[in-house]
Amino acid sequence: MSETPSRAGAVARAAAHYSSGRFLADMRRRVAMKTESQSGARDAELRAYLTEEMVPTLDKLGFTSRIFDNAVAGKGPFLVAERIEDATLPTVLVYGHGDVVLGHEGRWRDGLDPWSITVDGDRWYGRGTADNKGQHSVNIAALEEVMAERGGTLGFNAKILIEMGEEAGSPGLRKLAETHGDVLAADVLIASDGPRLRAERPTVFLGSRGALNIDLVLNLREGAHHSGNWGGLLANPGTILANAIASLVDARGKILLPALRPPAIPDAVRQAIADLTVGGGPNDPAIDRDWGEPGLTPEERVFGWNTLEVLAYETGTPAAPVNAVPPSAKATLQLRFVVGTDPMAAIEAIRAHFDANGFEKIEVKASRMEMFAATRLDPADPWVGFALASLAETTGKKPALLPNLGGSIPNDVFSDVLDLPTIWVPHSYPACSQHAPNEHLLGSVAEEALRLMAGLFWDLGEHGRTIREARRA
């Protein structure tokens, strides 16, 4: 402990945590655990990440841990750990997920192994480095260093929730919150997932767009029939389905069906978005300026509007086409939506629209039962100003404020079920290749993230009670 515990001391400790190699050592151990939640064959690894890695780590910090089995059969468990210093102090809930997408072995460049960290300059390659093992590891390490600087205390109560199924849609997370709301009760969520706006700019986001995957299926007959003998006589499901999709979204990506379009962008949200710039990074794709909703900036389209994307389309045998009219066609669409859009009403609207326009034979259904809803904390909430000021003090940079992430996370569980203000501070960047081969964390971002999270947690211990009371007033 420093002679006089200080914010600067906590931040310096966090920087030393990185430079000493301790953070990299923790990451090597955690990435080596093959916690693929999408494979259906990693039950032992999913549980071991909690029991063999997270529990011992948190035990050393004075947390009491509990493992909760998932209410959804066959899905990964949850860890809830808590450290209560004083019942009158504010409580922060920290969230992360230890599961990862499939490793895609053999598809990484230069023979990189997804289950072993390879450091190449500023890039730390390995599955989960960015999503999400690296991010919650930063936050846990920052808690450790703040506690060390304060001589064994945080100055607030802390709870940590680690789930092992986020990459599979967070099955059971909502049920956990509904059943054990008392265990997860807190004053604020401070968590990390997703990318910063840009690698060099610290970012805060307050929620996320929702995501609804929609399957469109058209089965007209058994078997394919020769296109020379039967072409022009048999309805082609591929043609019909293509036209049905074109009635929902036009050739420039503009959504045509009113029920799939959001309300007008609120002024406070539009003002926050005006300070943002998307794209332009060294590995970012070039933005198509004439794509999407006319009259909106690219930033407004991704943070303030809905998009309807065709994720997959299949009819016939695309890998080996034959001269035959196919019997069926299938497409999967995805609606990314902001607050104010009812996803269930969207499904019903598509059904009604198809029935009214000659597409009544197309089956319309959600791809999965659970979905991420759209959420957005009011940018004027006291916790938002607190977080932005803290990050700016540590880094000397103006943080980017995203009203909501363009992607989707299970923030609705925290905002709607647990009724928490939600502050997300991401530690990745847009070109990190999450969910793909060559996923990586930038060492420079990790080092800065350790410092800014140490500063944020220090400030929570100093000012958390005041912010809590200001929000209640």
**Structure confidence by residue, pLDDT tens digits, 87-128:** 999 999 999 999 999 999 999 999 899 999 999 999 999 999
In a domain, 119, yes or no: yes
What pLDDT is recorded for position 1? 44
User: How open is the CA angle 170-27-406, to the nearest 5 degrees?
Assistant: 40
| Cβ contact 311:332 at 8 Å | yes
Residues 44 and 190 in one domain: yes
**Residue 296: inside a domain:** no
> Which run of H or E residues covers position 149?
helix 133-149
- Confidence class for position 2, pLDDT limits 50, 70, 90: very low
Taking the C-alpha atoms of residue 424 and residue 189, their distance in angstroms, rounded to an integer, is: 8
Q: Which residue has the higher pLDDT, 281 or 391?
A: 391
Helix count and strand count (H, E) for the chain: 15, 19
3-class SS at 12? helix
Residue bearing tokens 């959600």: 366
Helix or strand (DSSP H, E) at 191: strand 188-191
Q: Give percent above pLDDT 70 in the chain.
A: 99
Regarding whether 314 and 231 lie in a shared domain, the answer is yes
Q: Is the confidence at residue 470, as pLDDT, over 90?
A: yes
CA separation for the pair 375, 377 (Å, rounded)? 7
Q: What CATH number should be reported for the domain holding residue 324? A: 3.30.70.360
Which pLDDT score is estimated for 372?
82
Burial of 154 (0-12, 13-18, 19+ CB in 10 A): buried
Does one domain contain both 166 and 19?
yes
Number of domains the chain contains: 2
pLDDT of residue 408: 87
The DSSP H or E segment spanning 80 is strand 78-83
Q: How confident is the model at residue 368 (pLDDT cuts 50, 70, 90)?
A: confident
* Same domain (yes/no): 74, 202: yes
81 and 215, same domain (yes or no): no
Reported as a pLDDT band with limits 50, 70 and 90, residue 370 is low
Distance CA 402, CA 323 (A): 50
Range of the domain at 233: 210-262+306-366
Task: Report the half-sphere exposure of 399 (CA within 13 A, side-chain side).
Answer: 30
Q: Give the range among 63-72, 131-140, 405-414 with minimum mean pLDDT.
A: 405-414
Query: Both tokens of residue 472?
Result: 């209640």
Q: Does some domain include residue 270?
A: no
Do both 244 and 384 map to the same domain? no
**How many other C-beta atoms lie within 10 A of the C-beta of residue 211?**
18
Extract the tokens encoding 118: 């390879």
Q: pLDDT digit string (tens) for 226-278?
A: 999 999 999 999 999 999 999 999 999 999 999 999 999 999 999 999 999 99
Q: Which residue shows structure tokens 């001269």?
A: 323
Backbone angles phi, psi at 168, to 5 degrees: -110, 15
Residue 279 has pLDDT above 90, yes or no: no
In this model, does residue 146 exceed pLDDT 80?
Answer: yes
Determine the Cα–Cα distance for residues 442 and 445; give it in Å rounded to an integer.
Answer: 5
DSSP 398: P
* Domain stop point among 320, 343, 366: 366
Same domain, 423 and 339: no
- Lookup: tokens for 194: 């997703």
Could you tell me how many residues make up the chain?
473
Half-sphere exposure of 272 toward its Cβ, with a 13 Å CA cutoff? Answer: 26
Q: Rounded to an integer, what distance in angstroms lies between the CA atom of residue 248 and that of residue 258? A: 9
Task: Tell me: pLDDT of 452 over 60.
Answer: yes
Determine the pLDDT at residue 371. 75
Within a domain: residue 294?
A: no
Name 109's Cβ contacts closer than 8 Å, sequence gap at least 6: 437, 438
Strand partners, 125: 118, 440
| pLDDT confidence of residue 369 | 56
Please report the pLDDT score of residue 386 as a whole number. Answer: 98
Residue 374's pLDDT band, with cuts at 50, 70 and 90, is very high
Three-class secondary structure of residue 328 per DSSP: strand
The 10 Å Cβ neighbour count of residue 250 is 10
Q: What is the pLDDT of residue 407?
A: 87
Q: Nearest Cα to 68, choosing from 56, 57, 59, 55?
A: 55
Tell me how far apart the alpha carbons of residues 285 and 278 are, in angstroms, rounded to a whole number.
Answer: 11
User: The tokens of 178 are what?
Assistant: 């509904």
* The pLDDT value given to residue 191: 98
Alpha helical stretches, state H, 49-132: 55-59
Q: Are residues 223 and 197 in the same domain?
A: no
Residue 384, classed as helix, strand or coil, is helix
Which residue's entry shows tokens 């992360």?
96
Task: Using DSSP, state whether 451 is helix, strand or coil.
Answer: helix
Mean pLDDT of the chain: 96
Q: What is the pLDDT of residues 183-198, one digit of tens each?
A: 999 999 999 999 999 9
Residues 194 and 54 in one domain: yes
Are residue 93 and residue 183 in the same domain, yes or no? yes
